[in-house]
Amino acid sequence: MSKGEHTKPGGKRRVAKIGALMAGASGVIALGAIGMTQVGSSAFNATVSPASPLAVSAATISLTTGTTDTLSGATVSNMIPQDYTEQVVNLKNAGSANFGSITLGAYVCSATTATCTPSSTTTGNALITSATTSSGSNEGLTITVQSCPAAWTPSGTTAPITYTCSSTASTVLAKEPLANITGSNTPATLTLPATGSALASGGESYLMFTLALGSGAPNTDQGLADNTAFNFTATSGTPGAVA
């Protein structure tokens, strides 16, 4: 009997196919090798989400005039040097954020069309441009702005009306030629307090404008006229960490 053979009971031979067994064993090893090959990421992972989302929103910036505004549409006539007029306007911060600053500028308007343009030399508005400095000898119209913690109290109902502050008024724009803030010139910054004014969200400022014809207004200012539109510009505050 050759090696690798044996006789089963009953006289039949059984041939052990060693080559086939070895091939099967080799196949097992190959399958094991395929199973160990990394395809993509096989790292463990876990995911968790916060219980509620992070809510982020942008502020709203809104500057409006209040119920009191005699500055718009007022007509003042027959001024002589050192005459003045007082006009009041309320400013409200109707937005959700504080302002960093509020500036005041002016545009001249055509006397015939009432169209305002960013120019200080529009025909018919020489009364503005006749000014040099607030203390100079050639003053045209000058402007001063004061702020009161509460509404200004009018002297009556018949023009000319003047105003008083029931508390302590502060000067937020010192006297200067109106020409300095008109047209393409740099607007003036109103020095309002950080609290209790329109700089704060929800705050309100009670302003009084005093427009005067300078004591040194030249004789050539006779008969001249101005149509002036004022504009306030608010800018947002200093950026930083917020809650």
CA distance 194 to 187: 19
pLDDT score at 37: 56
CA distance 21 to 201: 88
Among the listed residues 133, 109, 104, the one whose alpha carbon sits nearest the alpha carbon of residue 119:
109
pLDDT score at 108: 77
pLDDT < 50 positions in the chain: 7, 13-33, 120, 122-124, 134
pLDDT in tens, 39-53: 566 788 899 888 898
Beta-strand relationship, 13-15 and 204-213: unpaired
Burial 101-112 (b: 16+ CB within 10 A, else e): ebbbbbbbbeee
> Helix, strand or coil for residue 207?
strand
pLDDT score at 16: 44
CB 199 within 8 A of CB 98: yes
- H-helix segments, the chain: 18-35, 126-129
Compute and round to an integer the Cα radius of gyration of the chain.
43
CB 146 within 8 A of CB 134: no
pLDDT score at 178: 86
pLDDT score at 22: 43
